[in-house]
Structure 1
Amino acid sequence: MSMPVRRTRNEGATERQRGWARSPLAEFDDLLNQMGGLLESTVGGVVPGVGLVAWTPSADVSETDEAYHVQIELPGVSRREVDVEVSGQELGVSGEIKERERTGVLRRSTRRTGRFDYRVRLPSEVNTEGVKATMSDGVLSINVPKAETTKPRHIEITEAGESGGR
């Protein structure tokens, strides 16, 4: 008995290749969102067990000689709904976006709700006492200063005869 073979058009292959220029995890996240939307449209409402796992917001981490700078996208979230913790070299940001009350029937929703959690291990020791966080226009900015021992130190090079030596 022969099995049917699913054939795809060539343009699907080029779309797939272009899509993989992004993070493969982003592709998986998109697929999960599409599956959730399909389940919601057929079953209606929230499917039990889906959405209980914390999601991870988008973030940028940059480094200067003095500190690490983390920017996390949290649109529509107030600073009172976010918890920032630093323990050793790990920075953790967590919170919850609660579902807003609505009137009428919700036909489609792509906004994230529920628990979120972002964790990053920074490459070197940090000064936990000097961490500062600000929220502006839906972006949480966190400045994590490096510990004094990990900051680069400029060493001046002198000629052998300049410093009172031979």
Structure 2
Amino acid sequence: MRETLRVAAYAMCIRDDQVLLARWTDTQGRPEWTLPGGGMEHGEDPYDTVRREVEEETGYLVEITGLLGVRSRNITISRRFRRTVHHHGVGLVYEARVTGGELRYEVGGSTDMAAWHPLADVPGLRHVDLVDVGLRLWRERPVTGRVTVPGQE
């Protein structure tokens, strides 16, 4: 079985009881909301990754105000020709504050929309579990920098 590793950095931007989310399309073509952020480029510091990715996906410039935690996820993915891949994703979740720029949509990237959503509305949105992880890290601020979500204990 092939093994892959992806390291990424994401931002929790909260203001006025709203969270900034980016929309991407899953493998079945369905739109889902996620935290703005993405994969590190070779040699890039994750701090720089999250700032770059937020600007690319939302148009905003952000100041990193803290490291909330790390999400480590292992999944097995079925690929074409009956090949399977064991994928390990490591995501650093930062707290960030918008300092400039203007909200806009990403063109030609991995997301197609960005928007502020009331925190109370998040459970009703079609979203990836990374959003739940980020919100728990932001609310609970565990010393270990780790939380689990149902189904991923």
TM-score, structure 2 normalization: 0.28
Higher strand share: 2
Q: Higher RCO, 1 or 2 (CA under 8 Å, sep at least 6)?
A: 2
Structure with higher Rg: it is: 1
